[in-house]
């Protein structure tokens, strides 16, 4: 056989410039894995403007060649035990494709364990009198292939030599290849007309489109999945944050809060009355959610609820919150501690997978820990119950949180809300500054102690007091003043007051899995 010379070579060169090539490769073993379909696809593509074809297997190349004179890039795919190389791995494959009538023979040109070298394959194609296309994964593959004398380089193998398969085509590689040679063929994951144009603009001399035109199974699956998103939307969850001061209830879908209602916690009430108030408040949403979660102040074990500190909320004894709420709401309910739920919400809210401690400075001082990607349950994170260096035998939270700020203000002759104390401190009123500075100091010490105990990558702070303007900055400067041997990294809750809501919605969807 002689090398493609004279007329045929010129025709190829001209036809495959600024052109569309359609790859007609049926899904192996699929309903369309048959010559008649391959030939049909090829002729249909040519009739609509394709300038060339990419065809797999000597059998299909021969069938298409019998039907058209158009340029054919031939390849043979094999799954080998001894090599990851799949596209035209053997020298004999080159001969078979040439005999079947391919004009250009494509082979894998990646730098991996392989039965035949790129140099040997390029030589075999030349010997067969055909042109060669090196399917490359990177610029280095192309450089080696061009040094071996290949005629075209393609971006075909980009994304298929390890790691997760990308979704988009590698236009950057096309642009880089174009600096080496004008004979660049863009190929791989080109699904839209816009992507084909991007490849052409990046300097590809032709663009190969395969699956998007000739793999009915793939195209159908894309549409099927897209429709599934619309026809089977993510479930809506009723998420409740039951705190010592306020109760917040929201409808949450895929981490997004759709609607919210909020009311004060009746601090003189009981577990039974708080649940009843929730059921009452969410009555307008009945039928609009398929599961519910309650992030509650207090300790939660196996769906049962009790106070750690009755000063935060006076839950009497142990209350079967999960069972009772489920009975009244008519959907499965998951209950977790409020700060633990918020820790989970914050963990899920970013891509950061590092360990996290969440602290809510609110009516009480609660906390949650996510370590190694897992939310710690039980009473883990109840930092507010620690006593610190004091003789008073009272938990730390009773000298840090909202009610303490209010009572201190009252003692100093200012019967105002914690937020007013913050405002007075901001405007420099000495009595208020002393209260807020004291709170910030104690909280800063606690953060340093937590760092020593758990060494989290970050401490995320939320709650009415924790999110108050200027509070975190004050705590940070107190930490600097302490100058701890290992300083905590303090962040404000990304989800703000919704951290618990979003977290418990996710836990509710997972059912009892996190217990």
Q: Of 94 and 406, which has the nearer Cβ to ligand ADP?
A: 406
Q: Of 150 and 447, which has the nearer Cβ to ligand BMX?
A: 447
- Confirm if 251 and 238 have CB atoms less than 8 A apart: yes
Whole-number minimum distance, CB 415 to ligand ADP, in Å?
Answer: 13
Name the site residues for ligand BMX (rule: CB under 6 A). 243-244, 297-299, 307-309, 312-313, 337-339, 360, 362-366, 382, 384, 397
In this structure, the strands spanning 458-462 and 356-361 are: parallel
Residue appearing with tokens 């009355």: 273
Spell 228-261 as b/e; 16+ CB within 10 A means b.
Answer: eeeeeeeebbbbbbbbbbebbbbbbeeeebeeee
Q: Is 395 in the site for ligand ADP (CB under 6 A)?
A: no
Distance CA 314, CA 497 (A): 23
Stretch that binds ligand ADP, among 95-103, 163-171, 444-452, 462-470 (CB under 6 A): 462-470
Q: Of 267 and 374, which has the nearer Cβ to ligand ADP?
A: 267
Q: Which of 464, 472, 495, 503 binds ligand ADP (CB under 6 A)?
A: 464
Q: Which of 101, 367, 403, 503 binds ligand ADP (CB under 6 A)?
A: 403
User: Within the chain, what is the greatest distance between any pair of CA atoms?
Assistant: 105
Q: Dihedral sign, CA of 139, 140, 144, 145?
A: negative
Q: Of 204 and 242, which has the nearer Cβ to ligand ADP?
A: 242
Q: Which of 89, 101, 345, 463 binds ligand ADP (CB under 6 A)?
A: 463
Q: Is 89 in the site for ligand ADP (CB under 6 A)?
A: no
Contacted entry of ligand BMX, ligand ADP, none for residue 422, CB cut-off 5 to 8 Å set by kind: ligand ADP
Give which of 294, 363, 356, 283 is closest to 325, Cα–Cα. 294
Give which of 351, 436, 375 is closest to 400, Cα–Cα. 436
Q: Of 210 and 244, which has the nearer Cβ to ligand BMX?
A: 244
Q: Is 205 in the site for ligand ADP (CB under 6 A)?
A: no
Whole-number minimum distance, CB 228 to ligand ADP, in Å?
Answer: 38
Kindly state the helix (H) or strand (E) to which residue 264 belongs, with its residue range: strand 256-264
The contacts of residue 193 (CB under 8 Å, 6+ apart) are none
Whole-number minimum distance, CB 247 to ligand ADP, in Å?
Answer: 7
Contacted entry of ligand BMX, ligand ADP, none for residue 384, CB cut-off 5 to 8 Å set by kind: ligand BMX
The contacts of residue 85 (CB under 8 Å, 6+ apart) are 108, 110, 112, 113, 114, 115
Q: Of 55 and 248, which has the nearer Cβ to ligand ADP?
A: 248
The alpha-carbon radius of gyration of the chain (Å, integer) is 34
Q: Which of 245, 250, 326, 340 binds ligand ADP (CB under 6 A)?
A: 245
Residue 86 in tokens: 């799949």
Residue 428 in tokens: 């420099």
- Confirm if 320 and 304 have CB atoms less than 8 A apart: yes
Q: Of 188 and 244, which has the nearer Cβ to ligand BMX?
A: 244
Residue appearing with tokens 């758990």: 454
Q: Is 156 in the site for ligand ADP (CB under 6 A)?
A: no
x/- letters, 406..425, toward ligand ADP (CB under 6 A): -----------xxx--x---
Give contact residues for ligand ADP (rule: CB under 6 A). 243-246, 362-363, 402-403, 417-419, 422, 463-465, 468
């Amino acid at each position: 056989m002689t090398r493609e010379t004279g007329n045929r070579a010129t025709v190829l060169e001209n036809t495959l410039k600024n052109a569309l090539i359609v790859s007609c490769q049926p899904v192996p073993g699929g309903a369309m894995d048959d010559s008649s379909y391959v030939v049909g696809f090829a002729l249909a593509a040519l009739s609509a403007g394709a300038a060339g074809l990419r065809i797999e297997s000597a059998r299909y190349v021969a069938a298409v060649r019998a039907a058209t004179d158009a340029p054919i890039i031939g390849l043979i795919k094999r799954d080998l035990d001894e090599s990851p190389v799949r596209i035209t791995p053997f020298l004999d494959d080159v001969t078979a494709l040439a005999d079947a009538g391919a004009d250009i023979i494509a082979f894998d040109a990646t730098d991996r364990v392989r039965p035949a070298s790129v140099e040997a394959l390029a030589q075999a194609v030349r010997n067969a009198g055909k042109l060669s296309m090196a399917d490359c994964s990177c610029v280095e593959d192309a450089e080696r292939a061009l040094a071996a004398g290949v005629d075209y380089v393609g971006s075909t193998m980009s994304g298929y030599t390890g790691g997760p398969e990308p979704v988009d085509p590698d236009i950057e590689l096309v642009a880089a290849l174009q600096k080496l040679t004008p004979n660049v063929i863009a190929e791989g994951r080109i699904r839209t007309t816009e992507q084909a144009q991007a490849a052409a603009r990046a300097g590809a001399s032709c663009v190969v489109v395969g699956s998007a035109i000739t793999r009915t199974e793939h195209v159908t699956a894309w549409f099927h999945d897209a429709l599934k998103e619309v026809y089977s939307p993510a479930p809506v969850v009723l998420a409740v944050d039951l705190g010592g001061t306020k109760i917040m209830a929201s409808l949450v879908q895929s981490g997004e809060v759709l609607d919210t209602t909020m009311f004060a916690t009746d601090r003189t009430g009981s577990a039974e009355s708080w649940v009843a108030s929730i059921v009452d408040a969410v009555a307008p949403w009945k039928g609009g959610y398929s599961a519910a979660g309650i992030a509650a102040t207090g300790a939660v074990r196996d769906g049962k609820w009790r106070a750690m500190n009755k000063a935060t909320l006076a839950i009497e004894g142990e209350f079967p919150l999960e069972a009772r709420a489920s009975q009244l709401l008519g959907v499965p309910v998951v209950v977790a501690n409020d700060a633990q739920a918020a820790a989970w919400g914050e963990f899920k809210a970013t891509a950061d997978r590092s360990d996290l401690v969440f602290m809510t400075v609110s009516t009480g001082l609660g906390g949650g820990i996510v370590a190694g990607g897992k939310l710690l349950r039980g009473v883990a994170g109840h930092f507010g119950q620690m006593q610190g260096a004091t003789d008073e035998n009272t938990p730390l939270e009773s000298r840090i949180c909202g009610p303490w700020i209010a009572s201190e203000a009252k003692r100093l002759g200012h019967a105002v809300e914690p937020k007013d104390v913050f405002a007075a401190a901001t405007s420099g009123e000495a009595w208020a500054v002393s209260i807020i500075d004291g709170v910030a100091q104690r909280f800063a010490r606690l953060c340093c102690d937590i760092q020593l105990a758990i060494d989290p990558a970050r401490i995320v702070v939320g709650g009415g007091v924790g999110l108050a303007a200027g509070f975190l900055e004050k705590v940070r400067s107190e930490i600097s003043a302490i100058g701890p041997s290992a300083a905590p990294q303090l962040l404000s809750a990304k989800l703000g007051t919704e951290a618990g809501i979003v977290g418990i919605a996710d836990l509710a969807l997972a059912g009892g899995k996190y217990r």
